[in-house]
Amino acid sequence: MLNLTKAIFGKCAVGTALYTAIGGRLYKGRAPEAVHYPYAVFMVVSDVPERTFTEDYENVLIQFSLFSSTSGSTEVENMFTHLKTLYDECALSPSGSTLIWMRRQNATLMVEDHTTPEGNQQVWHYAVDFEILTSLD
């Protein structure tokens, strides 16, 4: 899983539209306290081994959460577009395995209450799931 994490971070490199849109704030698992908006977090939702008689696979579901504190949804929707462009059906190279596919499965846009140093505020949250299938080398 560490190699997959490194590949996800490596794909969101300086100069990509997603990196620029989130100000380089991509985190695994959770964001630091009092992080500035906008930002993105990803986490492993599930990791299921799949086996045939001759091959071993990992079927991983990753969820990206995109957060924006703007009053309208334009910023978070642009982040979603950049996320799709960068990761949907992308060429990802996790060491120790071969990517079969990375494809978007689901996306949900919602408004949530977040507690910030300034108090409670409503923020946009786009939750986007990707299925990643790799063949183990």
Tens digits of residue pLDDT in 12-43: 999 999 999 999 999 999 999 889 999 999 99
pTM above 0.85?
yes
First vs last C-alpha separation in the chain: 14
Task: For 96-116, write each residue's pLDDT tens digit.
Answer: 899 999 999 999 999 999 887
- Total residues belonging to the chain: 137
Report how far apart, in Å, the C-alpha atoms of 82 and of each of 18, 96, 113 are.
5, 27, 24
Q: Which helix (H) or strand (E) holds 20?
A: helix 17-21
**What are the backbone dihedrals phi and psi of residue 79, each rounded to the nearest 5 degrees, phi first?**
-60, -40
Half-sphere exposure of 53 (CA within 13 A, CB side): 0
